[in-house]
């Protein structure tokens, strides 16, 4: 086990800046998740830790040792790539045993190797595949073998690059649970890259959100979910995606949908009357109520017409028209809401996310906030949500 520290890490490929001045400290034994879309710089960051790319500037420290100029072989890290990188001429058992037969791991006896392989393959559900060759496996099975080859090897750091991306949804959910248990048991520092917010929330002790090579926010899953730093982070977590609406502050309320409805300004949010803001409402935080008067004190009470109802197992995804503004809502399947129905909804004050104000008549683009499909609110679009 070891700590990992990245200071001012930067890497470019020609004119493309893959990573920009990235600094982060990862604690000993922490399961650290890097979340972001394709091209955000996640894999480049991982390869920089492993020593597989030459960084342009900055430093990489593992276990208080500066390894910036150290060869990958001597960093004692184990990495699983999104591509499987298996030996085609070796069986699954031989692929898994190969990391235990060389270098500092070569001291294991045959019995110890078998024990480690059995433990990992049982956890990954591939213990019945040990005599097969990679060509005889499905993509999902190959990926589990590639992941197993990393986990079977004792290392200071595990680097996992989207190891579940080729698995089907059911197996991915099961593997998330297994990885969580495996991480708790091994106590090995793990850096895990993914574009799947569910994996990030389920696995991470902390999450770093990247956008175009830059760190946008870092925090616990609760902090990232409850207090997104900007609309990019807010959109990155949750399915259906968070509702983002333009509004204007008036008398302690934020009027939305051309004034058709409003929500309270959360306590601690610093805005003034006339400020134009962006409001985020997560579909799962909007509750369908039988009466618009129901709900907790301070909650927003909304009424609209259902234009589309899509059943998603135990939940129904509703598209609700609110004075010309479309709001996505997740309702319980037992509500039995039909298209064309009028519905009353509530959203608690603490679930109202307020993002950067523009002031009464200003914006970075010279437009009013309501103009255009994706209006820019400020140079960094930082959240003003109060700490909950």
Q: What is the per-residue pLDDT for 270?
A: 83
Predicted confidence (pLDDT) at residue 169 exceeds the cutoff of 50: yes
What's the pLDDT score for residue 61?
Answer: 96
- Least confident piece of the model among 1-5, 30-34, 230-234, 375-379: 375-379
Inter-residue contact 247 to 278 (CB < 8 Å):
yes
> Which pLDDT belongs to residue 153?
82
> Is 50 exceeded by the pLDDT of residue 366?
no
Residue 60 has pLDDT above 50, yes or no: yes
Structural contact between residues 243 and 327, judged by C-beta atoms closer than 8 angstroms = yes
Query: Does residue 147 carry a pLDDT above 50?
Result: yes
Question: For the residues 189-211, what does the mean pLDDT come to?
Answer: 94
E-strand stretches of the chain: 4-13, 16-26, 31-35, 57-62, 65-66, 77-80, 157-161, 189-194, 206-211, 214-219, 243-250, 253-256, 261-264, 276-281, 287-289, 300-312, 315-322, 325-332, 342-347, 352-355
**Do the beta carbons of residue 145 and residue 92 sit within 8 Å?**
yes
What angle (nearest 5°) sits at the alpha carbon of residue 379, between those of residues 9 and 207?
45
Mean pLDDT of 354-379: 42
Q: Quick check: 298 pLDDT over 70? A: no
Per-residue confidence band for 271, with pLDDT thresholds at 50, 70 and 90: confident
Judge whether residue 384 has pLDDT over 60.
no
The pLDDT, as a whole number, for residue 79 is 87
pLDDT of residue 130: 93
What average pLDDT is seen over the chain? 83
More confident residue, 58 or 186: 58
Cβ within 8 Å of residue 264, ≥6 positions away: 252, 253, 254, 298, 299, 300, 349, 352
pLDDT of amino acid 334 = 63
Distances 246 to 161, 170, 182, 263, 372 between C-alpha atoms, Å: 37, 37, 44, 12, 11
Mean per-residue pLDDT for 77-83?
Answer: 81
Supply the pLDDT for residue 337: 80
Domains of the chain: 4-232 (3.40.50.300), 235-355 (2.40.50.140)
pLDDT number for residue 14: 92
Identify which of 209-213, 255-259, 307-311 has the greatest average pLDDT: 209-213
Which one is predicted more confidently, 202 or 103? 202
Highest-pLDDT range among 1-5, 19-23, 74-78, 237-241: 19-23
Report the C-alpha gap between 308 and 262 in whole angstroms: 22
Top pLDDT among 234 and 99 is at 234
Q: Are 9 and 22 in contact (CB under 8 A)?
A: yes
Q: Are 284 and 330 in contact (CB under 8 A)?
A: yes
* Other Cβ atoms closer than 10 A to 139: 12
């Amino acid at each position: 086990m070891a700590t990992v520290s990245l200071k001012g890490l930067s890497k470019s490929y020609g004119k493309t800046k893959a990573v920009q001045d990235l600094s982060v400290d990862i604690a000993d034994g922490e399961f650290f998740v890097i979340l972001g879309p394709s091209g955000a710089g996640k894999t480049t960051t991982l390869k920089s830790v492993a020593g597989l790319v030459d960084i342009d500037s900055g430093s990489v420290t593992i276990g208080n040792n500066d390894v910036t100029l150290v060869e990958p072989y001597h960093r004692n890290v184990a990495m699983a790539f999104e591509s499987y990188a298996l030996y085609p001429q070796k069986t699954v058992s031989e692929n898994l045993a190969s990391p235990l037969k060389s270098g500092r791991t070569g001291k294991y006896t045959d019995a110890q190797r078998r024990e480690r392989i059995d433990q990992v393959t049982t956890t990954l559900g591939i213990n019945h595949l040990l005599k097969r060759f990679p060509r005889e496996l499905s993509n999902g099975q190959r990926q589990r073998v590639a992941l197993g080859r990393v986990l079977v090897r004792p290392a200071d750091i595990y680097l996992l690059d989207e190891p579940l991306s080729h698995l089907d949804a059911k197996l991915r959910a099961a593997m998330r649970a297994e990885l969580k248990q495996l991480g708790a048991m091994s106590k090995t520092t793990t850096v895990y890259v993914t574009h799947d917010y569910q994996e990030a929330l389920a696995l991470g002790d902390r999450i770093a959100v990247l956008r175009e090579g830059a760190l946008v926010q870092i925090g616990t899953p609760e902090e990232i979910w409850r207090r997104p730093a900007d609309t990019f982070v807010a959109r990155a977590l949750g399915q259906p995606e968070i509702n983002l609406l333009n509004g204007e502050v008036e008398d302690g309320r934020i009027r939305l949908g051309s004034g058709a409805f409003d929500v309270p300004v959360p306590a601690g949010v610093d805005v003034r009357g006339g400020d134009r803001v962006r409001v985020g409402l997560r579909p799962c935080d909007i509750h369908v109520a039988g009466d618009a008067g129901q709900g907790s004190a301070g909650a927003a009470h909304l009424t609209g017409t259902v234009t589309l109802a899509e059943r998603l197992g135990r939940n129904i995804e509703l598209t609700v028209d609110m004075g010309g503004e479309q709001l996505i809502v997740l309702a319980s399947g037992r509500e039995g809401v039909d298209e064309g129905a009028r519905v009353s909804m509530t959203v608690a004050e603490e679930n109202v996310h307020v993002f950067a104000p523009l002031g009464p008549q200003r914006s970075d683009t010279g437009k009013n906030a309501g103009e255009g499909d994706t209006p820019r609110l400020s140079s960094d679009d930082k959240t003003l949500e109060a700490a909950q």
